[in-house]
């Protein structure tokens, strides 16, 4: 998925680079354009490319999070959990298998190289015209490769968004549901045992007339965590809170 802002920024960068190619590779405009291209236009392009790459990666993560969370039927999931707990059976009747998500492509786009342009400028005279032409051809090929690299990066990130969203919804949300179900059942079992123990202690204390020394209370609020995709995830009682927080932490942590 590509936002309108991403699309506009990429097309503006491509247009600016093609404009450089047209100015530099034309002998009539080469000298008039040289200083402006090297000293102003190229630094501006490099700044915009860096901004575009960072924004594209950040937008990709937020897009996946939004699509996954919006793609869940929370009410149906809640009802299914209650039914599963009541009937003492897993929600999806499957293992809690989590499929690791591949890291988002973090290929940095190199800064736009102006070395061939400088070499063209330094060798533009009768004695080194062949050198000038050679560097002009090299620069033209470099521009084509650079533009392809930008487009490939854009497509790679868009594909990552689609594949990651699909994987999360089809596989990993189910895994989170089962992990949460197991946590709820475990907490209900512990609470049930604790209530029985407290009840037994109260009955026993009524029979005893001798006061027993007070024992130091052990901490009971130790938080349970699991590790998914290399990220430590805290278990909580709320199904929706657990799934939303886990999705955000895992995607943002990549």
Q: In this structure, is residue 22 part of a structural domain?
A: yes
Q: Rounded to an integer, what distance in angstroms lies between the CA atom of residue 121 and that of residue 128?
A: 11
Cβ 139 vs Cβ 116: under 8 Å:
yes
Q: How many CB atoms lie within 10 A of CB 247?
A: 21
| 24-55 confidence digits (pLDDT tens) | 988 788 889 999 999 999 999 999 999 999 99
| 231-248 confidence digits (pLDDT tens) | 999 999 999 999 999 999
Q: In this structure, is residue 89 part of a structural domain?
A: no
Q: What is the pTM of this model?
A: 0.79
Q: In this structure, is residue 59 part of a structural domain?
A: yes
Domain total in the chain: 1
Tokens (6 digits) for 130 = 């062949």
Q: In this structure, is residue 238 part of a structural domain?
A: yes
Q: In this structure, is residue 185 part of a structural domain?
A: no
Q: In this structure, is residue 78 part of a structural domain?
A: no
Residue 248 sits in which domain range?
4-72+96-170+221-252
């Amino acid at each position: 998925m590509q936002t309108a802002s991403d699309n506009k920024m990429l097309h503006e960068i491509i247009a600016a680079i093609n404009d450089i190619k047209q100015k530099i590779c034309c002998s009539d405009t080469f000298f008039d354009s040289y200083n402006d291209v090297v000293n102003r236009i190229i630094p501006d392009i490099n700044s915009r490319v860096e901004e575009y790459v960072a924004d594209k990666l950040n937008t990709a993560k937020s897009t996946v999070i939004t699509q996954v969370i919006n793609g869940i039927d929370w009410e149906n999931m809640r009802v299914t959990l209650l039914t599963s707990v009541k009937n003492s059976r897993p929600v999806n009747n499957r293992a809690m298998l989590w499929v690791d998500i591949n890291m988002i492509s973090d290929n940095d786009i190199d800064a736009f190289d102006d070395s061939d342009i400088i070499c063209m400028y330094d060798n533009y005279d009768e004695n080194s015209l062949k050198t000038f032409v050679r560097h002009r051809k090299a620069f033209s090929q470099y521009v084509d490769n650079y533009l392809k690299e930008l487009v490939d990066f854009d497509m790679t990130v868009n594909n990552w968004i689609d594949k990651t969203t699909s994987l999360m919804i089809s596989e990993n949300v189910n895994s989170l549901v089962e992990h949460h179900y197991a946590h709820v059942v475990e907490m209900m079992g512990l609470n049930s045992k604790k209530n029985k123990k407290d009840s037994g202690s109260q009955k026993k204390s009524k029979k005893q007339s001798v006061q027993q020394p007070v024992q130091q209370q052990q901490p009971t609020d130790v938080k349970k965590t699991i590790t998914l995709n290399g990220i430590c995830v805290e278990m909580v009682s709320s199904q929706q809170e657990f799934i939303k927080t886990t999705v955000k932490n895992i995607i943002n942590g990549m």
